A and B are shown apart, each in its own frame.
Chain A
Amino acid sequence: ETGVTQTPRHLVMGMTNKKSLKCEQHLGHNAMYWYKQSAKKPLELMFVYNFKEQTENNSVPSRFSPECPNSSHLFLHLHTLQPEDSALYLCASSQDGGGIEPQHFGDGTRLSIL
């Protein structure tokens, strides 16, 4: 299996639930990212990990908690979410943290908060 894989593809949860999104990359990259894509808004960078260290937290609410156990895996733990958190959550990876490098995206998890 190659590329960036995200699971689940779709998730419906209540505001009091706890769930996790998973991202796995098979490209040998060292940097991984979480983005939020909402209708009528630009892609919003949420978190960046470079060599397993978190290097960016873009003022994301604490109800989103990332975890990067190794360079190939990235999780986004969700708890007590709000309806406005419904969106497509995209994971990406790149070779290192250089802005010129291409980012390889997964196909996203479509999250709906009831």
Chain B
Amino acid sequence: TQLLEQSPQFLSIQEGENLTVYCNSSSVFSSLQWYRQEPGEGPVLLVTVVTGGEVKKLKRLTFQFGDARKDSSLHITAAQPGDTGLYLCAGSRGSNYKLTFGKGTLLTVNP
């Protein structure tokens, strides 16, 4: 059983469209991170959320942590081809080092 479910698995959209991807779990996480991985590269951290209900914005990206700290969403406004990549969510269940990753959402933004 996968601890973190990400949806959709694949998403292909046109430049300028808005989109939302989701990261859901039946477990509570003390913090949740979002990473973006581009082809041929390692994941790069986008944001960390720690408080239930927290909303963080990074330019055109808006991240939300669910009130119960079991789920998170990433909304991208006016997507650009440079947003193309694999979006991974990863949760931590305490002060230890162990991150649990989802399978990711592979986003393609077509010009």
Q: Hey, what's the 0/1 contact readout for B34-50 against A, CB within 8 Å counting as 1?
A: 01000011111100101
Q: Hey, what's the 0/1 contact readout for A34-62 against B, CB within 8 Å counting as 1?
A: 00000011110100101000011000000
B101 touches A43 (CB 8 A): yes
CB distance from A55 to the nearest CB of B (A): 7
Question: Which chain A positions have C-beta within 8 A of B88?
Answer: 43
Partner of B44, one of A33, A40, A99, A105: A105
Given A42-B102, A43-B88, A48-B97, the answer on whether A100 and B42 have CB atoms closer than 8 Å is no
* Residue in B30, B42, B99 with the greatest tally of chain A CB atoms within 10 Å: B42
A97 touches B40 (CB 8 A): no
Q: Which residues of A contact B (CB under 8 A)?
A: 4, 31, 33, 40-43, 45, 48, 50, 55-56, 90, 92, 94, 96-100, 102-108
Count of B residues near A, CB < 8 Å? 29
Q: Which residues of B contact A (CB under 8 A)?
A: 2, 4, 30-31, 33, 35, 40-45, 48, 50, 88, 90, 92-104
CB distance from A75 to the nearest CB of B (A): 17
Task: Show 22 A/B contacts (Cβ-Cβ < 8 Å), sorted by A.
Answer: A4-B42, A31-B97, A33-B97, A40-B103, A42-B102, A42-B104, A43-B43, A43-B90, A43-B101, A45-B98, A45-B99, A50-B97, A90-B43, A96-B97, A98-B95, A99-B31, A100-B31, A100-B50, A100-B92, A100-B95, A103-B99, A105-B44
